[in-house]
Amino acid sequence: MNLKAPVSSLMAIDILTAGVDAPAHALREQIREHGYHHLPVVDDRGILLGILSHVDLARADGEETTAAELMYEAPAVIRPDAPLAMAVAILAGGVFHALPVVDDEGGLCGLLTTSDLMRAWLAEQGHALYGADDVGDEAPLIASVDLADDDLRNHYDQVLTRIDGLLLGETDWVCAMATVACELHHAFDYFDWTGFYRAVDGETLAVGPYQGGHGCLRIDLARGVCGAAARSRQTQLVPDVDAFPGHIACSATTASELAVPIVTPAGRLLAVLDVDSDTPAAFGDVDREALEALAATLGARFGG
């Protein structure tokens, strides 16, 4: 993505807007119908007055509540000729997820969102984002356990790039874990359980977020594959869980497991990223290296 390009090159022009007296319940239905998350509020001349999010509209507590009562009146704005780098800097702060684009008189010209930036970046990389038509020929959307190492590395590159884009500007650790678990789980057909065990004290890991069947609610650090990863701060690549001393059978179908500790630069354990497979010896060095790189990124970013 060319960060020197103007905001006008990427902003949405055909957008919904609301008047200050518009009833919140009607606006809520509008954004739900169109799949939008933000709604600029303008006056009769098209001058920006504020912005509403789907979260704001969800707070409406009566039929008489209007846009004026819920809108944020001082949103960050940007000019259409400003460079995209400026928009990225504002949105990366995590306070705003949409930038109204206004002219010199404050008239609304368009809207630029975090999602717009992510899609543009991923498209430039040659990757697909939910529903895109062309995913390229580099790797399949879902990797199988018998994929060649080079193809698997290529697939991981795509998945981790997509995760980076989705987490752009996100500061909440739970949101990040939920997103990572979802993306990984649906990108590999041999990931039968994918999720996190969070470090909640010096002796216990607690489950979640995760994808798949029920996980063990809590794991003692003295037991199991995840406990070993947490204690040692080292990845546990287990081709046969039945042969692992102290293995905890959270699922009777699990045959192999990969557990990667997520540690901050200061050495504090945040969580263990755990992947289980019903296929024996499903994981190899390519999986380990990729998930260790992801864990290092997450530990550095969310360890503050």
pLDDT of the residue at 255: 94
Q: Is residue 48 part of a domain?
A: yes
pLDDT of the residue at 206: 96
In this structure, the answer to whether residues 234 and 286 fall within a common structural domain is yes
126-131 own/partner pairs: CB under 8 Å, 24+ apart: 127/158, 127/161, 127/162, 129/162, 129/165
In this structure, the answer to whether residues 173 and 276 fall within a common structural domain is yes
Q: Give the CA count within 13 Å in the CB-facing half-sphere of 52.
A: 33
pLDDT of the residue at 146: 85
Q: Say if residue 17's pLDDT is above 80.
A: yes
In this structure, the answer to whether residues 290 and 209 fall within a common structural domain is yes
Domain-ending residue, one of 64, 79, 111:
111
Domain-ending residue, one of 65, 83, 111:
111
Q: Is residue 81 part of a domain?
A: yes
Q: pLDDT (tens digit, 9 = 90+) per residue, 62-96?
A: 778 888 888 888 788 999 999 988 888 888 776 67
Q: How many domains, in total, are found in the chain? A: 2
In this structure, the answer to whether residues 186 and 297 fall within a common structural domain is yes
- Backbone φ and ψ of 188, nearest 5°: -135, 125
pLDDT of the residue at 1: 66
Q: Is residue 119 part of a domain?
A: no
Q: Mean pLDDT of all residues in the chain? A: 86
pLDDT of the residue at 251: 87
pLDDT of the residue at 134: 43
CATH number of residue 90's parent domain:
3.10.580.10
CATH number of residue 220's parent domain:
3.30.450.40
Q: Is residue 1 part of a domain?
A: no
Cα distances from 273 to residues 48, 112, 194, 209, 242, in angstroms, run 44, 33, 8, 10, 20
In this structure, the answer to whether residues 138 and 210 fall within a common structural domain is yes
Q: pLDDT (tens digit, 9 = 90+) per residue, 115-168?
A: 788 777 776 655 444 444 443 434 446 788 888 988 898 889 888 888 887 887
Q: pLDDT (tens digit, 9 = 90+) per residue, 181-234?
A: 999 999 999 999 999 999 998 899 999 899 999 889 999 999 999 999 999 999
Q: Name the residue among 142, 144, 127 with its Cα closest to residue 186.
A: 142
In this structure, the answer to whether residues 130 and 250 fall within a common structural domain is yes
In this structure, the answer to whether residues 36 and 88 fall within a common structural domain is yes
Q: Is residue 197 part of a domain?
A: yes
In this structure, the answer to whether residues 272 and 172 fall within a common structural domain is yes
In this structure, the answer to whether residues 256 and 172 fall within a common structural domain is yes
In this structure, the answer to whether residues 178 and 282 fall within a common structural domain is yes
Provide the percentage of residues in the chain whose pLDDT is more than 90: 49
Q: Is residue 57 part of a domain?
A: yes
pLDDT of the residue at 137: 39
Domain-ending residue, one of 60, 84, 111:
111
Q: Name the residue among 296, 290, 297 with its Cα closest to residue 275.
A: 290
Q: Is residue 137 part of a domain?
A: yes
Q: What is the mean pLDDT of residues 47-57?
A: 85
In this structure, the answer to whether residues 203 and 253 fall within a common structural domain is yes
Q: Which of 113-117, 280-284, 299-303 has the highest mean pLDDT?
A: 280-284
Rounded CA separation 117/6 (Å): 12
In this structure, the answer to whether residues 230 and 141 fall within a common structural domain is yes
Q: Say if residue 3's pLDDT is above 50.
A: yes
Q: Is residue 208 part of a domain?
A: yes
pLDDT of the residue at 131: 43
Range of the domain at 209: 126-302
pLDDT of the residue at 184: 95
Q: What is the mean pLDDT of residues 231-257?
A: 93
